[in-house]
Amino acid sequence: MGILEIASKPISVDLNSKISEALDLMQKRKIHQVAVLQNENYYGMFYLKQMLKARISPLNKVKDVVEKVGILKPEDSIEKAIKAIVQIGERALPIVKERKLLGIISEKDLIKSIKVESEINVKELISEKVIKVNLNDSLAKVRSLMVENNVSRVIVVDNLDYLVGIVDNLQFIEFLKYPKTFEYFTPKEPHGLESFLAKDYMREVQSIEKDEFSLRGAVNLLKKHDEVVITENGIPIGIIVPKDIFKLTFLQPFEKLHVSRIKELEPWDAYKLTETFGNFLNRFERMGIQSLKVDFKYHKEKKKGRKKVSLRCTLQTDKRVIKVKTFKWNVLDAAQDICEVLKRKLIKEKERELEKEIRYLRKLKEKEFEV
């Protein structure tokens, strides 16, 4: 099945349209992005989440906020589309052929195509960190949490910490699309959102108790809802979105590879780390590798906005156990460094085995001469 068969019809605006027009379209269609066209040809994408961070007036043109993102082709597979969605970190991507926009493939379209073959408990999916606000907290706090944590939704709880709803990016369009209220997002009136409460702008959210949940249940619910909040005795302990399912089912395709806490990685980091170690395993699969366990940790130390990361790997072969660790400024460099060290160790081990075998053959030959 090609992605065009399950994709949504493209919703687009012109490059010279006002931002307010694009926002109005998103609000009416309840979508988080629109494609951008120039002379009826695909040009880029406009994502709603940009406006929460940007300080660009809704009277400006879409060309001021358009993003050039990766595109998919109509013949691409569903698996490739899923990996691209996770890798780029957006909710949807365009399907383009010869500069013509054919459709928009969203994570909601893709989750409907997933068939669960195995089962897993929901606690292996959910993140321990729950971003939430009280129903009497202001939208200013909600927006701040969204920007700081790079998320598009925040859980709303009551005074007893029970789940009551959720606020997402769409609830902010009402403020973003008008010049006057847009000032609430600028230094001119930074406290403008303080007078609006989360309880007045939250929406209902699907939830289910942790002990009653499974992977199959998660997929079925996400086919109807944007997210599912996991609760324990009514108190939210986590949230699952389609990308969590994608990362679990598509980012660990190699049976011998075990990456701990992969859901805590940034989507691109998760994809590249798994891809790097997966390629390593494929390349050296004849070297007697039984398993490769990877554990990572982000550190508080930062450099130019990047977090320092440490990787610890344990490679189990049929001969021995090899342990390697490294510290780098990004996950991909750390993974490549680990693979390079493991490669040298495996090759050195193979050379020792060959030398041992050569010595053994020489001794046999010497004995033959003696006889």
Cα separation of 101 and 26, whole Å? 18
Q: Quick check: is 283 in a domain?
A: yes
Q: Could you tell me the sign of the dihedral formed by the alpha carbons of 87, 90, 91, 96, in that order?
A: negative
Q: Final residue of a domain: which of 111, 142, 165?
A: 111
Q: Is the pLDDT of residue 113 over 60?
A: yes
Q: Is the pLDDT of residue 118 over 60?
A: no
pLDDT digits over 218-267, tens only? 888 999 999 999 898 999 988 889 988 887 666 544 567 877 776 666 65
| Together in a domain, 176 and 271 | no
Q: Quick check: is 371 in a domain?
A: no
| Together in a domain, 134 and 30 | no
Cα separation of 91 and 183, whole Å? 27
Strand, coil or helix: 337: helix
Work out how many domains the chain is built from and give that number.
3
| Together in a domain, 333 and 266 | yes
Q: Which tops the pLDDT comparison, 349 or 160? A: 160
pLDDT digits over 49-63, tens only? 888 876 788 999 999
Q: What is the pLDDT of residue 252?
A: 47
CB 65, CB 187: distance < 8 Å = no
Q: What are phi and psi of 367, to 5 degrees?
A: -65, -35
- Position 340, amino acid: E
Q: Quick check: is 117 in a domain?
A: no
Percentage of residues in the chain having pLDDT higher than 90: 37
DSSP 3-state percent helix, strand, coil across the chain (nearest 5): 40, 30, 30
Q: Final residue of a domain: which of 201, 227, 246?
A: 246
pLDDT-based confidence at residue 120 (cuts at 50, 70, 90): low
Range of the domain at 340: 251-358
Cα separation of 33 and 259, whole Å? 32
Q: Which tops the pLDDT comparison, 187 or 94? A: 94
Q: Quick check: is 364 in a domain?
A: no
CB 267, CB 87: distance < 8 Å = yes
| Together in a domain, 75 and 185 | no
CATH number of the domain where residue 46 is located: 3.10.580.10
Q: Final residue of a domain: which of 111, 136, 162?
A: 111
**Mean pLDDT on 154-183:** 92
Cα separation of 158 and 156, whole Å? 7
| Together in a domain, 265 and 201 | no
CB 261, CB 295: distance < 8 Å = yes
Give me the sheet containing 235-240, strands edge to edge: 206-209, 228-232, 235-240
Q: What is the pLDDT of residue 267?
A: 56
Q: Which tops the pLDDT comparison, 212 or 274? A: 212
- Least confident among 86-90, 92-96, 203-207, 304-308: 304-308
